[in-house]
Amino acid sequence: MTYPPDGSTGPQGGPVQWDQVQWDPVQWDQVQWDPVPGGPVQWGSAIGGPQPPPVWQQPTPAHKPGVVPLRPLDTRDLIDATFSAIRFFPGITFGITAGLTAALTVVSAVIAGVVVTVESGGHPDLTSWLSAMDADWASSLIGAAVVALAAGPLAYPLNAAAAGVRTTWAELWAQVRPVVWRILAVALVLCGVFCIPDVLVLALDSLTGGDDDLVVAATLLVGVAAIIPTIWVTVRIALAPAAVVIERLGPLAAIRRSATLTHRSFWRYFVVLLLIWIVSGILNGVLGMASEMISDITGSGGVAALVFAAVLAPLITALVSPVEAIATSLLHVDARIRREGYDHQLARIAAARGGPW
């Protein structure tokens, strides 16, 4: 049908003569009816039930140029990204932890040798020395020190891997070399916090003698009570090594920065670290059982068994500690994404493929 033009005037500017408008009849038999989108209606289906949201309301997959999606990370993202990062740069990961473990094991062996020599009156015994090296507290302290020292250097290749960029050893050393002493200072603080419950128990045991059952129970109670504030402080300052390397902060400034980033996020990061600690404990247990099976099969005993344990303990530490170190550095990335929009900076780096930080 023919409609008059828009407006109220005719072709010569005068009023429209509505009685002169030519109306074309609609040819209904020629109208093309479009079918119902999505096919015919299925009567008896879940009419009135939940319908999928429109396309424009459906969530868009996060951009993931590297090992993590560029958005706030949940617990599953953090755990998946931890092992993805290990696969992304395994040489740097295990190279750093193996080197640190070897160095700390040598230092531990020297300290154990000095202690055994003093206690034996200048006549050290090889069995006593190996037993001192294989003590559980020594292995735990070495593991904590490796995690605290490795979290800083591993933060740089991890942030680069989040943008899909690979890091060379030369680039890593150029970033870490100026802040080595800051990393050592922060690691010393972290290890000191980690040792607080053990130090309290040893101090009370030495002061009281540990003969009375009541004294023993009180000592253990103090040690257990000290675990709660120790965990709280550990979680609040766990991001400090990454802040030293990535943000180029001093030790105290990095600790304050970690406390700021974890403010009102303690439980989220505590749950993630707790899961990582459980995974590390399981890996330690599995590797320890494997070592015992090998020792039983080979029939090693005496000094040979102690040597085997002294060699295997650092190897287990070197294999397990990267999980905790990388997870801690990932928390730093997540905290900055949540608070500062760090994902946009990582996206720009990914677009530039290795642009400046």
Residue-level pLDDT, tens digit, the chain, 357 residues: 444 454 444 545 554 444 454 445 545 445 454 444 444 434 444 444 455 555 444 444 567 888 888 889 888 888 889 999 999 999 999 999 999 998 988 888 787 777 777 766 666 666 666 666 666 667 778 888 999 999 999 999 999 999 888 899 999 999 999 999 999 999 999 988 888 877 777 767 666 665 566 666 766 777 777 788 889 999 999 999 999 999 999 999 999 999 999 988 889 899 988 988 888 888 777 766 766 666 666 555 556 666 666 777 788 888 888 999 999 999 999 999 999 889 888 888 888 764 444
pTM attached to this predicted model: 0.74
Asked if residue 40 is part of any domain, the answer here is no
Asked if residue 106 is part of any domain, the answer here is yes
Q: What's the angle, vertex CA 106, arms to CA 100 and CA 107, rounded to 5?
A: 90
- Pairwise CA distance, residues 39 & 52, whole Å: 16
Asked if residue 104 is part of any domain, the answer here is yes
Asked if residue 349 is part of any domain, the answer here is no
Q: What is the per-residue pLDDT for 284?
A: 73
- Pairwise CA distance, residues 234 & 67, whole Å: 26
Asked if residue 262 is part of any domain, the answer here is yes
Contact 148, 191 (CB under 8 A): yes
Number of domains in the chain: 1
Asked if residue 347 is part of any domain, the answer here is no
Shortest CA distance to 67 belongs to which of 335, 277, 346, 352?
346
Determine the 3-state secondary structure of 139 from DSSP.
Answer: helix
- Domain range spanning residue 283? 75-335
Asked if residue 64 is part of any domain, the answer here is no
- Pairwise CA distance, residues 59 & 357, whole Å: 29
- Pairwise CA distance, residues 26 & 32, whole Å: 12
Asked if residue 110 is part of any domain, the answer here is yes
For residue 32, how many other CB atoms are within 10 A of its CB? 4
